Amino acid sequence: MNWTIEQILGLAPDQFTLRAGRSLAEPQKWLALHHDGDVVWGIFPNGRHNTSETAVYLPTFSFICTCNSRKAPCRHSLALLQLWQQHAPNFTPQPPNPKLTAWSKREQIKQARANGRSQPNNLSQLKTGLDALELWLLDMVRHGLARLPERPKAYWDAMADRLIDAQAIPLAQTIRRLAQLPKTQPDWPEQLLQEIGRLYLIIQGFRQFEQLPVTTQADLQTAVGWLPTATENPPIHDTWLVLGRQQEPAGKHTRHTTWLWGQKSQNIAQLIEQTRSAVPEGRWLPTNTVWQGTLQRTPSGSPQIATRHGQLQEIDSPTIMPPSFGTIRDATQAYGRSLAANPWLADFPMLLQNVQPQPTESGWQLADPSGTLLPLPEKFSHGWHLLALAGGNFDLTIFGVWNGRFFHPLSVYAQQTWQDIHIWRGVQ
């Protein structure tokens, strides 16, 4: 395993786990550290009588731990990986207990079955949920937007829950986000009407789903949160640089998004995977690692989503620097063209060079030498870190996604590597 400590810490699901995992990564704090084939495992003391047994299956970086954390990796798994990277001689050969051995065998079977798995979707169930959403939206407009600030939380939650039952998680998340607009945004009526229009366009799209082109059908499916499936598009065999990663809850599942740059194809691919745990299927793909393998793009008016086509193999490679947009204006114009081709486009990847973060009364923004600004998310907590890296100049190279309102930074190029931003401690 040739990962850096920063790449390992980039697997942390949140700041608490990151800090705790870092503090436990000392050999003397562990009762036992062992390895057995593709599995590393250890025993950590929890108080006077209890212990936590944790293991990592290295081919897929799957984790198991007897602690009561529901996060993956938990702090023990994260610490174990750091110890394996920095103190491998401290690990002695020894098979794990029968429970961990059985788990590692199950992981091998899961790895073999991972390719070609698709998400079962229920179009009839979805359309029923969309019919209910249409009536709800029409009722909202009929009674006037002025009454929305008085609506109770249950008004929004009931519709969101209905959409979750219909397997339309992103639409449910949109409804919960709309509930917050009247309380937080001065221009909330404009934002609300824009979202209502987008939702209504999705509803009408599914009304005539069978008559639409394959690309439009795929974009509609992505908009409601259905995973892409295998297609007839030609596979793309390439060398892929991992530029950034995202992880978010999707109902009872976890959605993993990995942004990769193809060195030969000169294109960004958005790899989306959904699991019942916090661990992606196949393999973890940490930021700044390089992989060889084949991806297959799904149909779209603005193709960027891809699926795995076989296993990806990590390789040693010099750091790749993909080309960037010349200016922020170039990037937003490219977004406009993609949005015209796919009206439901949620996230548009942007690699920007020669930019500088600037604090304003309304929050942080990115600026380029021409003075064009790109707003960062509300309560963005890493502005001062980025400002320090830029050194007061237009020297920052950054990768992130633009959703039409905010630019969400995912990684920054510093010290000849791409570094996950989310592992930094936030400063308000």
Q: What is the pLDDT of residue 29?
A: 94
109 and 129 part of one domain: no
**Strand pairing of 32-36 and 92-93?**
parallel
Which structural domain range is residue 194 located in? Answer: 123-223
Q: Which of 398, 418, 414, 393 is nearest to 350 (CA)?
A: 398
Residue 228: inside a domain, yes or no?
no
Question: pLDDT confidence of 75, banded at 50, 70, 90?
Answer: very high
Residue 118: inside a domain, yes or no?
no
Decide if 74 contacts 67 (C-beta within 8 A).
yes
Q: What is the pLDDT of residue 376?
A: 96
Residue 409: inside a domain, yes or no?
yes
Average pLDDT in the chain = 87
Last residue of a domain, one of 262, 285, 315: 315
337 and 409 part of one domain: yes
141 and 219 part of one domain: yes
pLDDT tens figures, 214-246 = 999 999 999 998 876 656 678 899 999 999 998
Helix or strand holding residue 340 (H, E): helix 328-341
pLDDT tens figures, 18-30 = 989 999 999 999 9
Q: What is the pLDDT of residue 98?
A: 78
78 and 159 part of one domain: no
255 and 335 part of one domain: no
Last residue of a domain, one of 46, 81, 113: 113
109 and 136 part of one domain: no
Last residue of a domain, one of 264, 291, 315: 315
Residue 11: inside a domain, yes or no?
yes
30 and 95 part of one domain: yes
Is the pLDDT at 179 greater than 90? The verdict is yes
Burial class (CB within 10 angstroms; exposed 0-12, middle 13-18, buried 19+) of 6:
middle
The C-alpha atoms of residue 167 and residue 173 are separated, in whole angstroms, by 12
Residue 159: inside a domain, yes or no?
yes
Residue 323: inside a domain, yes or no?
no
Q: What is the pLDDT of residue 232?
A: 65
The two tokens of residue 90 are: 């401290």
Alpha-carbon torsion angle 8, 30, 24, 47, nearest 10 = 140
Is the pLDDT at 281 greater than 60? The verdict is no
Which is more confidently placed, 275 or 241? 241
pLDDT tens figures, 110-150 = 554 444 444 446 788 899 999 999 999 999 999 888 889 98
257 and 308 part of one domain: yes
Q: What is the number of domains present in the chain?
A: 4
332 and 305 part of one domain: no
Residue 428: inside a domain, yes or no?
no
Question: pLDDT confidence of 322, banded at 50, 70, 90?
Answer: very high
251 and 334 part of one domain: no
Question: pLDDT confidence of 291, banded at 50, 70, 90?
Answer: very high
pLDDT tens figures, 10-68 = 888 888 889 899 999 999 999 999 998 888 999 999 877 788 899 988 877 778 888 88
298 and 334 part of one domain: no
99 and 141 part of one domain: no
Residue 372: inside a domain, yes or no?
yes
